[in-house]
């Protein structure tokens, strides 16, 4: 079977606490979702606000391939707002559980069924495709749930959707629940929430039982614990069930990063499929196996979803990874020196330290008796910051014995200093700050500050650290250490391949 993907990132996903997208952000995200290949984009709830309607109109006017849908309650005013936006369909939602009917709506079952009939007929009469959705359907009397759906189908609904609104299903219950609803004979959607961490599993069970469409969000964002994750569901269907969707799986990591940036909801590192640790290996046994044959410790290749494999240096690291990294640095070490490097890395790991690329370079250089090369050095740093003062930094760097001076502004003094450094380096190397992490190692106002950064240069990511009592100086030194590592590696590659 083929499965349709109904993406509700722009509606249910935007209901994540703290997330509010502008019309422009919604349009950019919708264009990416359409490029990704989802079948339906729920662009929002048109009744919400003037800005929401403008955002939906912008998406509709783009002429995307996906069906554009608006969420609507079973009331005329919501449907009119959707019609005003020019959408293709409405996701028409009626609460069906006695809990919702009694305490939220304060109506009767017959009232709810009539709302479903009247609103469906009104929407269909005005040219909209209706997907009739039952809110809190998994806590609804099943006989009444089927009555509401059948009444909606008779009124012209082309699809039905059963919402596990507070994530009460288990995979076993989901299989029976959605299987029984397929008897109504129209396309059925599974809409599962993740309150117990089962949204993807329950959606898969619903699809196995005969549902033909899955409601999902990118990164699984949404209210409370979120919704079924688009990337997890699609890759599980592709890899474990051999079931097709129209989604381009090679774009999933890129899509995930884009949504994280626009919403400000960043992923935990161990997030399946798209997390930064999804294809990261530290254990020596695992890393050695992956180097020899990736399938030993990876169920899918990172390239399948547009991700990258990486190896982490820590106390579990194996000798194979260290040897590979040292080779990449252009160094040749005998067994005695290698053992010294390896034991020092293990010692740092035992102290609870993460070993960055710059740490490894420094350890190797020290063991080899090589003076570390610093193409870029800090000569002057001036910071101006305070109440009602825009944080400003002036940075003077010596780049290959040539002095360059630039200034930058930012949301804080550290941000301003990094902006100034990037401006100074713009004609030398293109860098982007991927991650910035700070810890106070000791207590008190004079605490030592440990700053770890990750810098991106093209498809290469370099990590670096600096520990200082001054957070600004620690941040600047960490960034400059990373830049020097990038430039040194570039020289090594160019020496090996003059046409690089």
* Tokens at 94, concatenated: 């009626």
- pLDDT (0 to 100) of residue 370: 63
DSSP H helical ranges for 280-412? 284-292, 319-328, 335-350, 357-368
Instruction: Please state the rounded mean pLDDT for residues 240-249.
Output: 96
Buried-exposed string 139-160: b where 16+ CB fall within 10 A, e elsewhere: bbeeebbbbbbbbbbebbbbbb
> Looking at the whole model, is its pTM more than 0.85?
no
- pLDDT (0 to 100) of residue 463: 86
Q: How far apart are CA 304 and CA 298, in angstroms?
A: 12
DSSP structural state of residue 312: -
- pLDDT (0 to 100) of residue 451: 87
Whole-number average pLDDT of the chain: 89
Instruction: Note whether 58 and 46 are within 8 A (CB).
Output: no
Instruction: Note whether 348 and 359 are within 8 A (CB).
Output: yes
Q: How far apart are CA 477 and CA 397, in angstroms?
A: 12
* Percent with pLDDT over 70 in the chain: 90
pLDDT tens, position by position, 267-300: 888 899 998 878 876 554 555 565 667 777 788 8
- pLDDT (0 to 100) of residue 494: 74
Q: Is the pLDDT of residue 321 over 90?
A: no
- pLDDT (0 to 100) of residue 288: 57
Q: How far apart are CA 216 and CA 36, in angstroms?
A: 13
pLDDT tens, position by position, 169-180: 999 999 999 999
pLDDT tens, position by position, 101-110: 999 999 999 9
Instruction: Please state the rounded mean pLDDT for residues 22-41.
Output: 97
pLDDT tens, position by position, 444-485: 666 667 788 999 998 888 888 887 778 999 899 899 989 998
Instruction: Note whether 191 and 153 are within 8 A (CB).
Output: no
Taken in order of first residue, the domains within the chain and their CATH numbers are 4-263 (3.20.20.70), 280-368 (no CATH), 376-496 (3.30.160.270)
Q: Is the pLDDT of residue 65 over 90?
A: yes
pLDDT tens, position by position, 176-218: 999 999 999 999 999 999 999 999 999 999 999 999 999 999 9
Buried-exposed string 33-61: b where 16+ CB fall within 10 A, e elsewhere: bbebbbbbbbbbbbbbeeebbbbbbbbbe
pLDDT tens, position by position, 387-425: 888 999 999 999 988 999 999 999 999 999 999 999 999
pLDDT band at 500; cut points 50, 70, 90? very low
Q: Which of 214, 234, 102, 225 is nearest to 168 (CA)?
A: 225
Q: How far apart are CA 291 and CA 279, in angstroms?
A: 12
- Give every CB contact of residue 465 below 8 A, 6+ residues apart in sequence: 354, 356, 358, 359, 450, 451, 452, 453, 478, 481
Q: How far apart are CA 413 and CA 382, in angstroms?
A: 10
Instruction: Please state the rounded mean pLDDT for residues 333-360.
Output: 77
Interior angle at CA 483, CA 477 and CA 485, nearest 5: 105
- pLDDT (0 to 100) of residue 401: 85
pLDDT tens, position by position, 352-380: 666 777 677 777 776 776 656 789 999 99
Q: Is the pLDDT of residue 72 over 50?
A: yes
- pLDDT (0 to 100) of residue 447: 63
Q: How far apart are CA 256 and CA 276, in angstroms?
A: 11
* Percent with pLDDT over 90 in the chain: 65
């Amino acid at each position: 079977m083929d499965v349709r993907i109904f993406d509700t990132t722009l509606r249910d996903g935007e209901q994540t606490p703290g997330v509010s997208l502008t019309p422009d952000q919604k349009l950019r995200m919708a264009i990416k979702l359409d490029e990704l290949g989802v079948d339906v984009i729920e662009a929002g709830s048109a009744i919400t606000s003037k800005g929401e309607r403008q955002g939906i109109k912008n998406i509709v006017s783009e002429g995307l391939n996906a069906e554009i849908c608006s969420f609507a309650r079973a009331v005329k005013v919501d449907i009119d707002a959707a019609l005003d936006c020019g959408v293709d369909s409405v996701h028409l939602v009626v609460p069906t559980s006695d809990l919702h009917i009694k305490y939220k709506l304060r109506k009767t079952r017959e009232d709810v069924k009539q709302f479903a009939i009247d609103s469906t007929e009104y929407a269909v009469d005005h040219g909209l495709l209706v997907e009739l959705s039952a809110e809190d359907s998994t806590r609804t009397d099943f006989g009444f749930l089927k009555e509401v759906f059948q009444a909606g189908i008779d009124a012209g609904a082309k699809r039905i959707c059963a919402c596990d609104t507070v994530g009460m299903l288990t995979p076993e219950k989901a299989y029976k629940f959605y299987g029984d609803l397929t008897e109504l004979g129209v396309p059925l959607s599974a809409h599962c929430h993740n309150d117990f961490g089962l949204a993807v599993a329950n959606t898969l069970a619903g699809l196995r039982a005969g549902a033909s469409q899955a409601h999902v969000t990118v990164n699984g964002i949404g209210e409370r614990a979120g919704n079924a994750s688009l990337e997890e569901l699609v890759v599980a269907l592709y890899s474990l069930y051999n079931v097709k969707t129209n989604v381009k799986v090679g774009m999933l990591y890129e899509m995930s990063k884009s949504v994280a940036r626009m919403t400000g909801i960043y992923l935990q590192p161990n997030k399946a499929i798209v997390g930064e640790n999804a294809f990261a290996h530290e254990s020596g046994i695992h890393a050695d196996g992956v180097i020899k044959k990736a399938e030993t410790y990876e169920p899918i290749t990172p390239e399948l979803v547009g991700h990258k494999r990486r190896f982490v240096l820590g106390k579990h690291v194996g000798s194979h990874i260290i040897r590979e990294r040292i080779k990449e640095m252009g160094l040749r070490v005998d067994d005695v020196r290698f053992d010294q490097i390896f034991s020092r890395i293990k010692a740092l790991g035992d102290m609870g330290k993460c070993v960055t690329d710059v740490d490894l370079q420094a350890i190797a250089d020290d063991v080899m008796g090589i003076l570390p090369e610093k193409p870029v050095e800090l000569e002057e740093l001036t910071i101006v910051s305070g109440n009602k003062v825009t944080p400003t930094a002036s940075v003077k760097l010596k780049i290959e014995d040539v002095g360059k001076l630039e200034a930058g502004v930012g949301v804080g003094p550290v941000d301003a200093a990094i902006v100034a450094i990037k401006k100074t380096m713009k004609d030398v190397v293109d860098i982007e700050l991927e991650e910035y992490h700070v810890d106070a190692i000791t207590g008190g106002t004079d605490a030592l500050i440990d700053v770890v950064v990750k810098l991106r240069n093209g498809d290469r990511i370099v990590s670096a650290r600096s520990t200082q009592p001054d957070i600004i100086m620690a941040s600047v030194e960490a960034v400059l250490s990373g830049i020097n590592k990038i430039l040194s590696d570039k020289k090594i590659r160019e020496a090996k391949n003059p046409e690089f």
